[in-house]
Amino acid sequence: MSSSKPKPTAAKRLGNARLAKLPAAVARPGYDRKKVTAGIVHLGLGAFCRSHLGVYTDDVLALGATDWGIVGVNFRSPEIIEALKPQDGLYTLLSREDGVDKLRVIGAFLDVMSAGDQFDEVLALMVKPEIRVVTITVTEKGYCYDPATGRLNEAHPMVTADLADPTRPRSLPGLIAEALRLRRKAGVPPFTVLSCDNLPQNGKVTRAVVARFAELSDPDLGEWIADHVAFPSSMVDRITPATNDTDRAIVTAGLGMTDAWPVVAEPFHQWVIEDNFPNGRPAWDQVGAILTANVHPFETMKLRCLNGAHSTLAYLSVLAGIETVADAMADPLLPKVIRHLWDDDLIPTVPPVPGTDVVAYTGDLEARFRNPGIRHLTLQISSDGSQKLGPRLLVPATTRIAEGKAPRVVPLTVAAWMAFLRGSDGNGRSWTVADPMAARLTAIAGEHGDDPVALADALFAISEIFPAAISGNAPFRKATTQHLRSLLTRGVPATLTAFLFR
């Protein structure tokens, strides 16, 4: 959050007491919040869960199901708690398309808590029988897993710290395992754990990290979790850029009162959920979510086509000085690169998706990416590449290689990521590399920065990121190194021109 924003005064702040004073044009909870009780604990209170889970659940509450309110728990930054607590958990969704702004105040989050400062309270809440679902958005790195294997990273510093004292966990796997241990001890049926992050088979990964963590601290608990707790997978989608001060000002003007932290999102939203909730669930299916036995095809399509294209746009754009996805889509070359990525490398790897034409889906993605009302920063998407490249692009590239085909665009994305790790373009522009592996990656880039062969060799050697099928594939390495040389010496436009028109 910007420090320049004025401190909202209590009198003019969004909150329960001022809901009735909102202008008629602003949508608001269609139910009595006082009657709503918590049925969900949500872990990871970023913008995404507020534009997605919060909105679907707000719609369910409006259907009259009063026992599915959410308590949001944050692991790290206290700012979101400080913003939402004085607002009774209320916040505004600003959805934007074709120059039209729509404001809606969401009431589904009944309370917000800090997993650090309020640890005992959070744990006590997670043990209550009325909490039947725990939802998660902590981004890829929050799972403390190894992206290459999908298993718990047992050497992760938070995991080793939590294993030393499993009753005071700080990590996601540690917290869920401890809450489940206490529920079991108290004879309370387990909650269902629903991951809403962009990981392939996110339910399976969550189950793997929680059950393994538990097994390491108490083998019996590990077995009980594996046998008794449901971890459905889900595919989540809504483009939600970080909120900026212009958005805050628009919301304040529209509400006639201050909202310290609204969320901005595109109108489009999609949620496909594996229907495995032994302890009950909100009727999300009645408000637009797809509940199905098999999420896999949907998730594969979305993770590869949407997120894979995002990452490709992000690295090339940061290098080229292009700030937003919409600006990238206005570039003469980048949309052509993305079309090749879809047609040549990704669509052939997506299994049939029920009721969906995948080519048409990518056409819709193009339109969504072009939405000029959404200032989605390419630098924001560039974060955590060590976690994102695998599921989004390297896994489908591996599939293509196994079929005897050479991936065409993925080596270019990997080259752009390698050049991005240098943190500057050598011409005075610089940026921050945000990544859980940043120290190691930027040290490598610093050492080999100008030498494409040495830089690519050193990065391909990181087995946590590059599976052997990629790092051991000579044509892939050669293509990547050539693109990297071109990016470092000739820059993005000349590289893309050569790539597209050679």
C-alpha dihedral over 44, 50, 52, 56, to 10 degrees? 110
Judge whether 196 and 136 are in contact, CB under 8 Å: yes
Give the footprint of ligand CS2 on residues 221-250 (CB under 6 A).
Answer: 237-239
Closer of 90 and 306 to ligand CS2 (Cβ): 306
**Adjacent-strand bridge partners of 72:** 42, 112
Q: CB of 380: closest distance to ligand CS2 in angstroms? A: 6
Helices (H), 142-199: 157-164, 172-186
Helix (H) or strand (E) holding 339: helix 334-340
477 is an interface residue for ligand CS2 by CB under 6 A: no
Closer residue to ligand CS2 (CB): 71 or 465: 465
| Continuous segment of H or E residues that includes residue 82 | helix 79-84
Q: What x-and-dash track marks residues 256-295 binding ligand CS2 by CB under 6 A?
A: ----------------------------------------
What is the radius of gyration, based on Cα positions, of the chain?
Answer: 23
212 binds ligand CS2 per the rule CB under 6 A: no
Site for ligand CS2 in 182-211 (CB under 6 A): 198
Closest alpha carbon to 253 in 25, 30, 89: 25
Q: Give 28 or 310: the residue with its C-beta nearer to ligand CS2.
A: 310
Residue 194 contacts residue 135 (beta carbons within 8 Å): yes
Binding flags for ligand CS2, 296-335, as an x/- string (CB under 6 A)? ----------xx--x-------------------------
Tell me the DSSP string of 362-398.
HHHHHHHHH-TT---BHHHHTTTHHHHHIIIIIHHHH
Nearer to ligand CS2, 131 or 325 (CB): 325
Please name the residues in contact with 369: beta carbons below 8 A apart, sequence gap of 6 or more: 309, 313, 325, 326, 328, 329, 338
CB closer to ligand CS2, 74 vs 114 = 74
* Closer residue to ligand CS2 (CB): 33 or 269: 269
Residue 381 touching ligand CS2 (CB under 6 A): yes
109 neighbors 16 (Cβ within 8 angstroms): no
Phi, psi of 195 (to 5 degrees): -75, 135
Distance (Å, rounded) from C-alpha 30 to C-alpha 58?
8
Which amino acid is present at 486?
S
Contact track, ligand CS2, 110-139, x by CB under 6 A: ------------------------------
> Binding marks (x or -) toward ligand CS2, 20..59, rule CB under 6 A?
----------------------------------------
Cβ closer to ligand CS2: 198 or 386? 198
# binding residues, ligand CS2 (CB under 6 A): 10
Q: Which residue is nearest to ligand CS2 (CB)?
A: 310
Cβ closest to ligand CS2, residue 306 vs residue 470: 306
Q: Which residues bind ligand CS2 (CB under 6 A)?
A: 198, 237-239, 306-307, 310, 380-381, 388
